[in-house]
Amino acid sequence: MIKLKQILPPLAVVAFLIAAWWIVVVESESVIFPTPWQVVTGTYELIEQGTLWNHIGASLFRVGTGFFLAVAIGVPLGLLMGWVAGAHTTLNPIVQMLRPISPIAWIPLSILWFGVGDVSPIFLIFLSSVFPIVVQTTAGVHTIERQYLRAAENFGVTRFKLFFHVVIPAVLPQIIIAMRVSLGVAWLVVVAAEMIALRSGLGYLIIDSRNAGNRYDLVIAGMVIIGVTGLLLDGTMRRMERLRVVRWKYAR
């Protein structure tokens, strides 16, 4: 269970930031930028209209689909590149060349290839997520302590069993870290990805609220919801790090 002393400091910081935000908006007499209470009322307005959950569900579907595709492809590819020297020599230059390209730069091509719909943002989210997984997984294999491999070899373990019973369990902590990073990156690009989506998603909500009447209360609400959802997803990934199957090499 989460202890009270663990949540009080971050709650105090959040309360301070909200208070500072409120004071600055009131003192500046801004007619555009919303107060925290206006963001709350704007969020309630979306709930009453029944659109908020549709936007959240659409974003979760796109991010979830793109992320899981990245895991399904990135983890095996990273293991292959880490375990087989020839695969690393052949594929690593391509990965390192594609990795720095911003997902936003792929928007014109994604529209050309997949049209306007769910597939295009899923493709962009996949691209933003897959490369951190590949790189971290490959590095995880390369940094496996040699004592594990030598101990297995001393028992006459075949290379096939060595890979599945030693290499994969040993690299699981690195894979979970890679998944954490990639999921965070996926949420970073959700706004840009949903610029080309249909009329749904938190990214679309933010952009549409800005264009349709300068509803900055809804813009901030969408940003806050993305942040809170990202925090919850990161907490889920951190719980995975505590699983015994992941932390077997640290067990006493």
Tell whether 27 is covered by a domain: no
The number of distinct structural domains making up the chain is 1
What's the pLDDT score for residue 136? 92
Tell whether 208 is covered by a domain: yes
Tell whether 140 is covered by a domain: yes
Position of tokens 């007619």?
A: 31
Position of tokens 């500046």?
A: 28
Q: In angstroms, rounded to a whole number, what is the distance separating the alpha carbons of residues 134 and 88?
A: 11
Tell whether 10 is covered by a domain: no
Tell whether 161 is covered by a domain: yes
Reported pTM: 0.83
pLDDT tens per residue across span 27-46: 887 778 888 898 999 889 88
Tell whether 66 is covered by a domain: yes
Tell whether 26 is covered by a domain: no
The overall average pLDDT reported for the chain is 84
Tell whether 11 is covered by a domain: no
Domain that holds residue 114: 34-250
pLDDT-derived band at 2, boundaries 50, 70, 90: low
Contact 180, 237 (CB under 8 A): yes
CATH number at residue 160: 1.10.3720.10
pLDDT tens per residue across span 77-127: 999 998 888 989 999 999 999 999 988 889 889 888 988 788 888 999 999
Residue 208 tokens, joined:
């549409």
User: What CA–CA distances, in Å, run from 47 to 16, 52, 53, 64, 143?
Assistant: 27, 5, 7, 23, 49
